[in-house]
Amino acid sequence: MSANSKLAGIIYIASESIYLRIAQIVNGNIKYIEKIDYPIVIGKETYKKRKISFKRINKACDILNNFIKLMNEYKIENYKTVATTAIRESENSEYIVDQIKIKTGLDLNILEDSEEKNYIYLDLIKSLDAKKYGPQDKILITYIGSGSLGIALYQNGNIFFSQNIRIGTLKLTETLAPLITKTPNFFEIILEFLSSFRKSLKNILPAEEINYVIACGKEIDITRTILEIPKKNDFTQIDLDALKNLFDKIEFKNPDQIHKMFNLSDYEAINLMPLFGVYKMLFDIVDPKKFLMSEANLLDSLAYEILKPKSFKILQDKYNESIILTTKNLASRFYYDEEHALSVEKHSLKIFDSLKKLHGLGSRERLLLRVASIIHDAGKAINIKNHAESSYYIVKESEILGLSSRELNIIGNIVRYHSGNTPALNDQEFLSLPVTERVLISKLLAILRLADSFDRAHDNKVKNISVKLSKKNLIIYVESIIPTYLEKWSFEVKSEFFEEVFGIKPDFRRVIK
């Protein structure tokens, strides 16, 4: 019998378990047929020795091989194997990936913190939609990862603001570890350390309008354990007073005492203080009426992604919309020229959509182009002379919602080369990228540069363009009632790169309309 395309397998190597899910779509919803949580402590080694022993990896491979057997029973061909912190933070992660490949044949995908966050946000938005908050309700979403803290604002079906701070639970402990033995009140040190973030967040967040805080991410699970709250389907409401009481309880305690106090594993105990520190910081900023823990998780989201039920496309589009919204929000914090950005976005997409045959790219690349179009001039707020370079830094340092670091790098390179020089052969940083990435960047860059030229004067002179591609010619009709000498000149300069990339020279034809 042929492979079963209706089924998906997801394997997730986490800190204290390896998970297997075998999922199928029933009436448009994801349903699990097999659910195995195999306990094996991996994170502890990563945390204590910075490396995972091969003995442990061999044991993990035994478990994985059993999972493969079970997937074979269902004749599954669509599957994905992922890992997060436990492997990511281990110094020998590359060898681990290699060993797992050799011993099990599985290609292990180590997710970045931001990718993990995206998957979880995606799942969270899905369940938030079902919850039907009013259009006025502003919700602060926080993803608490081991390596980063994501803050996002959700309203009326979309995330419109997102901010990433590199203070994950594990990272916090690591950073402050030397102080654990020096202070009787480590929790206080954490809070002090977080206070600078608290102040800057308070400046950007409309704190008084926010009523709900929803936390998500694997690291928050211990909260439920300590408060002895059973797991619910989508959201678990946490008694804020009970939680705040615990903050007082862990003052003047060291991780070892906490480990005993709450009967936690080492790894959980070590993460509890930074986690509570983050909670306390957030409550100091927002003072929410309700605090909810989201059960949104990586596994559900991955299953959703692989199986792509009908609702997935809708959710994906919606999430893309959130990506655009947050990009705009980010750009506005750099006082960007919104009209210019809109014009470049519009023209870029027009060219992109008209030249599918020429570039052969898909919807994800289109999204990257869109984001690049919006953010490309943001660097001007820092430095007008070398603004493209500044835009590049903004993109790289801001960690835009929904985009992986690979994608951010692509967008960064597009904005970096959008105005002056194009990537040259002596540009070491660019050359170090894989060839496929370089080609992708160049293609999107060529399009963006053309689109940018139509609004050279930032006066929105060009209302519309249309693109006509024949075998020999590529003509772009530019609609404007005002003369476009500057734009045509700019176009001529920027089309050189376009010709270099696509081998066809576009013609600028003004249409008076």
The residues binding other proteins (CB under 8 A) are: 1, 4, 6-7, 20, 24-26, 31, 33-39, 66-67, 69-70, 72-75
Helices assigned H by DSSP within 181-220? 186-204
Whole-number minimum distance, CB 13 to other proteins, in Å?
A: 15
Whole-number minimum distance, CB 38 to other proteins, in Å?
A: 5
Whole-number minimum distance, CB 67 to other proteins, in Å?
A: 7
Residues present in the chain in total:
513
- Residues 6+ positions from 191 with CB-CB distance below 8 Å: 277, 280, 281
Query: Rounded to whole angstroms, how far apart are CA atoms 152 and 129?
Result: 16
Strand partners, 212: 139, 290
User: If DSSP states are collapsed to H, E and C, what string results for 64-122?
Assistant: HHHHHHHHHHCCCCCEEEEECHHHHCCCCHHHHHHHHHHHHCCCEEECCHHHHHHHHHH
Half-sphere exposure of 417 (CA within 13 A, CB side): 23
3-state secondary structure of 30: strand
Say which amino acid occupies 362: G
Whole-number minimum distance, CB 268 to other proteins, in Å?
A: 18
What distance lies between CA 61 and its chain's CA centroid? Answer: 29
Report the residue number, 79 or 454, with the smaller CB distance to other proteins. 79
Say which amino acid occupies 257: Q
Report the residue number, 28 or 503, with the smaller CB distance to other proteins. 28
Whole-number minimum distance, CB 298 to other proteins, in Å?
A: 19
Report the residue number, 19 or 319, with the smaller CB distance to other proteins. 19
Report the residue number, 74 or 334, with the smaller CB distance to other proteins. 74
The answer to whether 101 and 64 are in contact (CB under 8 A) is: no
What backbone phi and psi angles, to 5 degrees, belong to 165?
A: -125, 135
CA 145 to each of CA 86, 132, 404: distance values in angstroms, whole numbers, following the listed order: 12, 26, 15
Helix (H) / strand (E) containing 508: strand 506-511
Whole-number minimum distance, CB 433 to other proteins, in Å?
A: 41
Whole-number minimum distance, CB 34 to other proteins, in Å?
A: 6
Look up residue 441 and give its two tokens. Answer: 């960047």
Look up residue 504 and give its two tokens. Answer: 């066809």
Whole-number minimum distance, CB 70 to other proteins, in Å?
A: 5
Report the residue number, 68 or 144, with the smaller CB distance to other proteins. 68
Whole-number minimum distance, CB 222 to other proteins, in Å?
A: 19
Q: What angle do CA 168, 173, 178 make, to 5 degrees?
A: 145
Report the residue number, 73 or 256, with the smaller CB distance to other proteins. 73
Whole-number minimum distance, CB 152 to other proteins, in Å?
A: 32
Report the residue number, 306 or 381, with the smaller CB distance to other proteins. 306
Report the residue number, 231 or 406, with the smaller CB distance to other proteins. 231
Query: Rounded to whole angstroms, how far apart are CA atoms 90 and 98?
Result: 14
3-state secondary structure of 502: helix
Report the residue number, 157 or 309, with the smaller CB distance to other proteins. 309
CA 499 to each of CA 4, 347, 450: distance values in angstroms, whole numbers, following the listed order: 45, 18, 11
Report the residue number, 36 or 261, with the smaller CB distance to other proteins. 36
